[in-house]
Chains A and B, each alone.
Chain A
Amino acid sequence: MLFTPTIVNNIVGGLGNLLQISNILFVLFGTLIGLFVGAMPGLSATMAIAMLLPLTFNLSAETGISMLAALYMGAMYGGSISAILIKTPGTPAAAATILDGFPMAQKGQAGKALGISLVASTIGGLISGFALLLIAPLLGNVALQFGPVELFAVGVFGMTIIGSLTDKSVMKGLLSGVFGLLIATIGMDTISGTARFTFGILNLYSGIPFTVALIGLFSVPQAIRLSMQNDDEAPITSDVKDRMLPTLKELWFLLPTILRSAIIGIFVGLIPGTGGDTACWYAYNETKRFSKHKELFGTGLPEGIAAAESANNAVVGGALIPTISLGIPGSSATAVLMGGLMVHGIMPGPTLMTQYANVTYTLIWAVIFSVISMFVMGLLFTRASIFVTRIKNRVLAPIIIILCVIGSFAINNSMFDVILMFGFGLLGYFMDMIKMPTAPMVLGLILGNLVETSLYQSLAIGHGSAAIFLSSPIAVVLLAFSALSILQATPLFNFLRKKRKTT
């Protein structure tokens, strides 16, 4: 039997939890904030979740994480509003929406373009929400069989894959991840009971607070960049005069595109290190490939919008599957969501589906409910959100900084955390300048404890021999994939590839 009575009980319990009025209100609030934040070209979904994470500190874990997940879902649709109306993606995940969304708006069909985006986002989000509900418990059940050897392999696999799947330099991606793991070792070592790399600073005894690091790494660099942008010229905004919702006939025509793109989104989300920005382009290109009138893409074709928007919302559920069943975040945004759980003392790993089942299953239902909430909020507030697309980047930059400073102070009531956040922010800015991704560093900080504990336990089982990692087929496969992803970044691989081409 695939679904054990415990899983069924947890699913029902999670739904019951979500239906509490406070949780529903916070999901609605999260969706609305996500919609507005997504519509602002200066803010990405990841950054918004990082920046608003401190708001959840005094909420229960279920309520806080549900609000953040709803924010993520709402931002995925919100990104399309500015993409369609002002030709600037509100979030990187809406980049492909511009291609057909803006031309449609220029033709006086802005409402229709937004409506297609909303419906595609809703269907894509719902499919991925139910995929999450079906797959995560099963994968979580498999992960429960994992011992320290497999957990170590999962941790290493997650780190190397997120580092090597970067579209920039693989070397930089891996370095960022490994450095994150190294700074995660700062503080009291749970195994030996000694303080490590604390330099006598008391605040460092409990380690680097990952929330502080992720607020700094994801938000401050963007604020600095925004401060340097010149946005004197007001963007050309299209008016929404026509009706939003597509007719049933139009929807029927778009359905195959929406379904295909949703599946693409789920799979892209599943892979650690890739997110909505990858999925939207992949789905758009696939839709173009399947289309009989390829030449019309980019001129204002509804399929183009439907593909990109269905895929980027489907990423939310897909990316949450490895996050909650294995503890390996599937995207930067889910890494931040993971941070939201860790604030409440919930550590990543297979125990999420058992020990913290009430929180995890509430989160799953929150994702599904946030899609419905997004649809309603989208219908009610899309027109209102046009105003936020006009907020200048130079206004946003200081506002972001204030939220970062106050948020990082609120974590431990400590100025040390604020200074640390600013330090990480500057580091993130320079890393961004040299095109070194910051997401692997955050993942390293999150997974540091899991990787170290499982490494130590594995070696203890193997009496100190590293051969223990070859005793488990799952570990061997995962470590082989990890090795392969590192090797493909080396000059040796390029040399072999070139040689193969020439022969």
Chain B
Amino acid sequence: MKRNTITIIIGLLFLAVAVLFYVISLDMMREAYLLPRLLVYAIVVLSIGMIIESLIQHKKEQEKIEDEVASSGGWTAKASFDKAVAIKGTLFVLLIAIYVLLIQPLGYFIVTPLFIVGAFMLLKSTSFVVSIITAIGFSGFVYALFVVFLHLPVPMGILAGLIQ
């Protein structure tokens, strides 16, 4: 996806949130809606400004490309977009989402080592054996740091009764 398109999507997203907050604020008393509404007005102006700024920039870039094409007799250096890299990034994000969704039901000690091994394999970080050693070592280290040393909670899931 082009940066320009993402800018417009984020601009529209902020705009939509602002409008939604404005509609909700219609039922509020003055003390509660005063600042949110002022901010909503500012977001509307800034979001529209950002979208316009992005469109102008896009137009300039297009003109520049057209000029380049014209001056090089129809040839231009097209920005190469590495699809493989994008797919790897997307898969990593999906892996994080799965980790976040499963950590509570299955527990830290099952999901974290699996996440490390899965991510290392996906990103080709290390060999399989090193991945497993790192997964066990790092999961143990974080548990010791958070739970044993700092007395902070980690989600234990189905192993809750066994370990604690």
A contacts, CB < 8 Å to B: 54-55, 57-59, 169, 171-172, 174-175, 178-179, 181-182, 185, 189, 191-192, 194, 196-197, 220, 224, 227-228, 230, 392, 394-395, 397-399, 401-403, 405-406, 409-410, 413, 415, 418-419, 422, 426, 430-431, 433-436, 451-452, 455-456, 459
When the two chains form their complex, are residues B145 and A55 in contact, meaning their CB atoms are under 8 A apart?
A: yes
When the two chains form their complex, are residues A434 and B3 in contact, meaning their CB atoms are under 8 A apart?
A: yes
Give A476 to B109 CA distance when docked, in angstroms: 57
Beta-carbon contacts of B123-159 to A below 8 Å, as 1s and 0s?
1111000000010001000100110001111110000
Q: Which chain B positions have C-beta within 8 A of A436?
A: 10
When the two chains form their complex, are residues A189 and B10 in contact, meaning their CB atoms are under 8 A apart?
A: no
Q: Which chain B positions have C-beta within 8 A of A194?
A: 28-29, 32
When the two chains form their complex, are residues A182 and B18 in contact, meaning their CB atoms are under 8 A apart?
A: yes
Q: Which chain B positions have C-beta within 8 A of A418?
A: 100, 103
Instruction: Known A403-B142, A422-B100; judge A57-B152 contact (CB<8 A).
Output: yes
Give A431 to B9 CA distance when docked, in angstroms: 11
- B126's nearest neighbour on chain A, judged by CB, is A395
Q: Which chain A positions have C-beta within 8 A of B93?
A: 224, 426
CB distance from B76 to the nearest CB of A (A): 23
CB of B106 closer than 8 Å to a CB of A? no
- Give which listed residue, A182, A403, A426, contacts B39 with CB less than 8 A: A182
CB of B119 closer than 8 Å to a CB of A? yes
- A174's nearest neighbour on chain B, judged by CB, is B46
Give A403 to B116 CA distance when docked, in angstroms: 12
Instruction: Known A179-B14, A179-B43, A418-B100; judge A227-B32 contact (CB<8 A).
Output: no
When the two chains form their complex, are residues A406 and B146 in contact, meaning their CB atoms are under 8 A apart?
A: yes
When the two chains form their complex, are residues A192 and B28 in contact, meaning their CB atoms are under 8 A apart?
A: yes
Q: Which chain A positions have C-beta within 8 A of B152?
A: 54-55, 57-58, 410
**Closest 6 A/B residue pairs (Cβ):** A398-B119, A175-B46, A394-B123, A410-B152, A394-B125, A192-B31
Q: Which chain B positions have C-beta within 8 A of A55?
A: 145-146, 150, 152
CB distance from A393 to the nearest CB of B (A): 9
When the two chains form their complex, are residues A433 and B50 in contact, meaning their CB atoms are under 8 A apart?
A: no
Give A402 to B155 CA distance when docked, in angstroms: 12
Give A260 to B49 CA distance when docked, in angstroms: 40
Q: Which chain A positions have C-beta within 8 A of B86?
A: 228
When the two chains form their complex, are residues A169 and B125 in contact, meaning their CB atoms are under 8 A apart?
A: no
- A452's nearest neighbour on chain B, judged by CB, is B35
- Give which listed residue, B7, B21, B125, contacts A197 with CB less than 8 A: B21
Q: Which chain A positions have C-beta within 8 A of B108?
A: 406
12 pairs, CB–CB < 8 Å, chain A vs chain B: A175-B50, A179-B14, A185-B21, A191-B32, A227-B89, A227-B119, A401-B99, A406-B108, A415-B104, A433-B6, A434-B54, A435-B3
Instruction: Known A175-B14, A185-B39; judge A394-B50 contact (CB<8 A).
Output: no
- Give which listed residue, A410, A434, A451, contacts B35 with CB less than 8 A: A451
Q: Which chain A positions have C-beta within 8 A of B134?
A: 395
When the two chains form their complex, are residues A182 and B89 in contact, meaning their CB atoms are under 8 A apart?
A: no
Query: Total number of A-B contacts with CB less than 8 angstroms?
Result: 157
Q: Which chain B positions have C-beta within 8 A of A57?
A: 150, 152
Instruction: Known A228-B89, A419-B100; judge A434-B28 contact (CB<8 A).
Output: no
CB distance from A414 to the nearest CB of B (A): 10
CB of B69 closer than 8 Å to a CB of A? no
- A421's nearest neighbour on chain B, judged by CB, is B100
CB distance from A53 to the nearest CB of B (A): 12
When the two chains form their complex, are residues B43 and A178 in contact, meaning their CB atoms are under 8 A apart?
A: yes
Give A375 to B104 CA distance when docked, in angstroms: 43
Q: Which chain A positions have C-beta within 8 A of B29?
A: 192, 194
- Give which listed residue, A169, A192, A403, A405, contacts B103 with CB less than 8 A: A405
Chain B contact residues: helix, strand, loop or mixed: helix
State how many residues of chain B have any CB contact under 8 Å with chain A: 61
Instruction: Known A185-B39, A196-B28, A455-B35; judge A397-B119 contact (CB<8 A).
Output: yes
CB distance from A203 to the nearest CB of B (A): 14
Give A189 to B32 CA distance when docked, in angstroms: 7
- Give which listed residue, A224, A403, A434, contacts B10 with CB less than 8 A: A434
Give A420 to B150 CA distance when docked, in angstroms: 23
CB distance from A170 to the nearest CB of B (A): 10
Q: Which chain B positions have C-beta within 8 A of A191?
A: 31-32
Give A255 to B118 CA distance when docked, in angstroms: 51
Q: Which chain A positions have C-beta within 8 A of B85?
A: 228, 230
CB distance from B51 to the nearest CB of A (A): 10
CB distance from A460 to the nearest CB of B (A): 9
When the two chains form their complex, are residues B150 and A430 in contact, meaning their CB atoms are under 8 A apart?
A: no
Q: Which chain A positions have C-beta within 8 A of B116?
A: 398-399, 402
CB of B42 closer than 8 Å to a CB of A? yes
Give A403 to B6 CA distance when docked, in angstroms: 28
Q: A196-B25, A402-B142 are in contact. List 18 more A-B contacts (CB 8 A).
A: A54-B152, A58-B152, A175-B14, A179-B14, A182-B21, A189-B31, A189-B32, A194-B28, A194-B29, A197-B24, A224-B93, A227-B92, A406-B142, A409-B154, A410-B153, A422-B97, A430-B6, A433-B6
Give A230 to B84 CA distance when docked, in angstroms: 11
Give A394 to B34 CA distance when docked, in angstroms: 47
CB distance from A231 to the nearest CB of B (A): 10
When the two chains form their complex, are residues A398 and B120 in contact, meaning their CB atoms are under 8 A apart?
A: yes
CB of B96 closer than 8 Å to a CB of A? yes
When the two chains form their complex, are residues A192 and B39 in contact, meaning their CB atoms are under 8 A apart?
A: no
Q: Which chain B positions have C-beta within 8 A of A54?
A: 146, 152
When the two chains form their complex, are residues A395 and B3 in contact, meaning their CB atoms are under 8 A apart?
A: no
When the two chains form their complex, are residues A413 and B126 in contact, meaning their CB atoms are under 8 A apart?
A: no
- Give which listed residue, B43, B92, B138, contacts A224 with CB less than 8 A: B92
When the two chains form their complex, are residues A455 and B34 in contact, meaning their CB atoms are under 8 A apart?
A: yes
When the two chains form their complex, are residues B115 and A398 in contact, meaning their CB atoms are under 8 A apart?
A: yes
